[in-house]
Amino acid sequence: MDKSHIRNFSIIAHIDHGKSTLADRMLEITGVIDKRNSHDQMLDDMDLERERGITIKASTVRLPYTGKDGKEYIFNLIDTPGHVDFTYEVSKSLAACEGAILVVDAGQGIEAQTVANYYLAMENNLAVIPLINKIDLNTVDIPRTKNQIISVLGYKDEEILLASAKEGIGIKEIFEEVIRVIPAPPGVIGNPLKALIFDCRFDPYRGVVVFVRVVDGKIDSGSQIIMMHSGKIYKLEEIGVFNLKYSKVDVLTCGEVGYFIANIRDPREIIIGDTITDIKNPCAAPLPGYRTLKPLVFCGIYPVNPGDFTNLREAMDKLKLSDASFQFEPENSQSFGSGFRCGFLGLLHMEIVQERLEREYDLNLILTVPNVVYRVKKKDGEVIDIDTPAKFPASDIAESFEPYVSLLTIIPVESIEAVCEFVKSRRGTFHSTEYLGIDRVKLVFNIPLSEIIVDFYDRIKSLTKGYGSLDYEFKDYVQTQLVKLDIMLNGVVCDAFSTLICKEKVYHKAHALVKKLKELIPRQLYEISIQATVGSQILASEKVRPMGKNVTSRCSGGDITRKRKLWENQKKGRKRLKQVGKIEIPQEAFLEVLKL
């Protein structure tokens, strides 16, 4: 393939601005899919993506296109997700591209992720084509959105394209602009092979399918390659390109995007961001790869059925393959036995991982309260990072620190006051402001990460009637007064409910937790005392009164079959209960306290 006819690009945008729909039109126009056999958001092929209507995984597809100049072009399109938790997916995709189409919803205008993704593209030195989508809607104010793009991102009027992904208006014009503005891939075909692993999938029949972008040289089918970081050597069984399915080719040349299969059974052998080269004629140095992202939020994941531990580990190994930002390591809990401490980029990421594990691997899971990574300096000078309450030292703490983020919000001008009040209640402080046109404003705050991981985005959405959007980025560790809040049930700590929290908020949290647990724990044969404690201090307590009598005493007389039935029902009910010490706690309790 002559690489001057290749263009590799991504579509980036804030969530719901129309990326996946635009990709659909591109697939149709280039004949990769037939309009009659297609459905909306073709590239969102995961069940979960279709149900939630969001893109979680980036997808790759190859589009053949005949330009106005009569030449045959190959576009490699990488669709990307828009939610802040999946920025990692976006950045992986961008490293395999030379350009990006930045889609802006004509009605919504620029939102937080528009700005964040734009900067991400700039960091990757991509050529960016700004595009206003949804121009078919007659309620939209196109000049207003155009002015925002001009004033916030610095584009000229004539550089901005207009389209309706839904109606298929302006799609050819986008392709022509891609040919004109986005450079053909660099690289030298005569050089030794150098290719970037930017993603992979697990196929139950064929093993690991590895996605690569060839930077220099070429990959021949049947050749032997080495992965430069892992040092592993493979003989390639098949190489190919993406036409919505895997499609075999004989050679992938520099500039091209494709996949290889090499009988790799263990997903853990692959490092996303690794460089592959030819074993006989290796390149001098590997590509820089990806910086590994540090998870921001941690929680414990345990199988409801302890016998599922091995299955859970296998499921996590496979899932990690298509989601490198997910981390896990084994841990033990007094309440739940063997499980894993898992790291995520955010709460949506956590939810998605849980749902995928339960659905795709048929597991039933319990999650513990999520927490951020705190930092503690001990009196002897040792500094430790704390990703679970269990690691929090009981004494000899000299100083403690918590992670702060820079929070960017774009909101309607009339909701400034409400948003500022709310952010303040979450210990946030104002940093800067900038007006975007007349009706939108960009506010930047510094705020503890722990304050925004639960129920923050939803609150911003409701305070701004749905128009507010946000993005955040880790800033720094800031000194705080950290305590460990435990829940004791009849005098025994139930470690699943332990949380780390700043002192200022501990009373409120202690009372809320105890009250909620009183509602959730069913009455049992004996009295249950629920106490929230910090060290030896009791901050709040409640009691669950014992059940008056055995349930069967309600059946007067001695009808034994009726009694049996009641006992049976009682037993069934117990299955959904988790035994912690002598006390039975319904599984919902663990989920409900997450929401506090």
- CB of 18: closest distance to Mg ion in angstroms? 8
**Cα Rg, the chain, nearest whole Å:** 27
Among Mg ion, ligand GDP, none, what does residue 16 contact (CB within 5–8 Å per kind)?
ligand GDP
201 near ligand GDP (CB under 6 A): no
User: Is 55 or 450 the residue whose CB approaches Mg ion more closely?
Assistant: 55
Q: Cα 269 to the chain's mean position, in Å?
A: 22
Q: Which of 95, 115, 165, 262 is in the footprint of ligand GDP by CB under 6 A?
A: 165
Q: How far is CA 61 from CA 19, 257, 290, 329, in A?
A: 14, 9, 22, 34
Part in contact with ligand GDP (CB under 6 A); list of ranges 16-24, 181-189, 297-305, 450-458? 16-24
Whole-number Å distance between alpha carbons of 28 and 167: 12
> Under a CB-based contact definition with an 8 Å cutoff, are residues 199 and 92 in contact?
yes
DSSP secondary structure string for all residues of 405-446: EEEEEEEEGGGHHHHHHHHHHTT-EEEEEEEETTTEEEEEEE
- CB of 22: closest distance to Mg ion in angstroms? 9
Conformational region of residue 465, where left means phi above 0, alpha means psi within -120 to 50, and beta covers everything else: left
Q: Which of 16, 439, 584, 592 is in the footprint of ligand GDP by CB under 6 A?
A: 16
Angle of helix 112-123 versus helix 87-94 axis, rounded to 10 = 30
Q: Which of 8, 21, 148, 480 is in the footprint of ligand GDP by CB under 6 A?
A: 21
Place of tokens 């703490």: 397
170 near ligand GDP (CB under 6 A): no
User: Is 82 or 240 the residue whose CB approaches Mg ion more closely?
Assistant: 82
- CB of 153: closest distance to Mg ion in angstroms? 21
Q: Which of 20, 253, 469, 498 is in the footprint of Mg ion by CB under 5 A?
A: 20
Q: Which of 3, 10, 12, 17 is in the footprint of ligand GDP by CB under 6 A?
A: 17
- CB of 33: closest distance to Mg ion in angstroms? 16
User: Is 149 or 196 the residue whose CB approaches ligand GDP more closely?
Assistant: 149
Q: Comparing C-alpha atoms, which of 369, 365, 413 is closest to residue 578?
A: 365
Q: Comparing C-alpha atoms, which of 401, 404, 402, 396 is closest to residue 423?
A: 404
Encoded one letter per residue, x for contact with ligand GDP by CB under 6 A and - for no contact, window 119-138 reads --------------xx-xx-
Q: Which of 13, 94, 271, 489 is in the footprint of ligand GDP by CB under 6 A?
A: 13
Q: How far is CA 285 from CA 5, 274, 281, in A?
A: 27, 11, 12
Part in contact with ligand GDP (CB under 6 A); list of ranges 64-72, 161-169, 265-273, 553-561? 161-169
Q: Which of 166, 442, 515, 563 is in the footprint of ligand GDP by CB under 6 A?
A: 166
DSSP secondary structure string for all residues of 310-327: HHHHHHHHHHHHT-TT-E
- CB of 78: closest distance to Mg ion in angstroms? 12
User: Is 56 or 501 the residue whose CB approaches Mg ion more closely?
Assistant: 56
- CB of 53: closest distance to ligand GDP in angstroms? 6
Among ligand GDP, Mg ion, none, what does residue 318 contact (CB within 5–8 Å per kind)?
none
- CB of 136: closest distance to ligand GDP in angstroms? 5
261 near ligand GDP (CB under 6 A): no
**DSSP symbol at 204:** T
19 near ligand GDP (CB under 6 A): yes
Q: What are phi and psi of 459, to 5 degrees?
A: -65, -40
10 near Mg ion (CB under 5 A): no
Conformational region of residue 18, where left means phi above 0, alpha means psi within -120 to 50, and beta covers everything else: left
Among ligand GDP, Mg ion, none, what does residue 165 contact (CB within 5–8 Å per kind)?
ligand GDP
59 near Mg ion (CB under 5 A): no
Among ligand GDP, Mg ion, none, what does residue 303 contact (CB within 5–8 Å per kind)?
none
368 near ligand GDP (CB under 6 A): no
Among ligand GDP, Mg ion, none, what does residue 136 contact (CB within 5–8 Å per kind)?
ligand GDP
> Under a CB-based contact definition with an 8 Å cutoff, are residues 249 and 260 in contact?
no
Q: What are phi and psi of 209, to 5 degrees?
A: -105, 120
Query: Which amino acid type is present at position 520?
Result: L
Report the site for ligand GDP in 40-79 (rule: CB under 6 A): 41, 53-55
Q: Please count the other Cβ atoms lying within 10 Å of the Cβ belonging to residue 395.
A: 7
Nearest-10 Cα torsion for 356, 358, 362, 363:
140
80 near Mg ion (CB under 5 A): no
Q: How far is CA 333 from CA 71, 311, 338, 530, in A?
A: 63, 18, 7, 19
**DSSP symbol at 304:** S
> Under a CB-based contact definition with an 8 Å cutoff, are residues 360 and 584 in contact?
no
Among ligand GDP, Mg ion, none, what does residue 133 contact (CB within 5–8 Å per kind)?
ligand GDP
Kind and range of the H or E run holding 47: helix 47-52
User: Is 137 or 293 the residue whose CB approaches ligand GDP more closely?
Assistant: 137
Whole-number Å distance between alpha carbons of 508 and 501: 11
- CB of 26: closest distance to ligand GDP in angstroms? 12
164 near ligand GDP (CB under 6 A): yes
Part in contact with Mg ion (CB under 5 A); list of ranges 15-23, 111-119, 210-218, 381-389? 15-23
> Under a CB-based contact definition with an 8 Å cutoff, are residues 127 and 183 in contact?
yes
Among Mg ion, ligand GDP, none, what does residue 220 contact (CB within 5–8 Å per kind)?
none
Report the site for ligand GDP in 321-350 (rule: CB under 6 A): none
Token readout for 108 is 């919504």
What are the residues whose beta carbons fall under 8 Å from the beta carbon of 172, sequence distance 6 or more?
Answer: 29
Report the site for Mg ion in 30-49 (rule: CB under 5 A): none
User: Is 29 or 397 the residue whose CB approaches ligand GDP more closely?
Assistant: 29
User: Is 111 or 331 the residue whose CB approaches ligand GDP more closely?
Assistant: 111
- Binding-site size, ligand GDP (CB under 6 A): 20
Q: Which of 20, 60, 91, 327 is in the footprint of ligand GDP by CB under 6 A?
A: 20
Q: Please count the other Cβ atoms lying within 10 Å of the Cβ belonging to residue 396.
A: 10
Q: Which of 8, 10, 30, 55 is in the footprint of Mg ion by CB under 5 A?
A: 55
Binding footprint of ligand GDP on the chain (CB under 6 A): 13, 15-21, 41, 53-55, 82, 133-134, 136-137, 164-166
Binding footprint of Mg ion on the chain (CB under 5 A): 19-20, 55
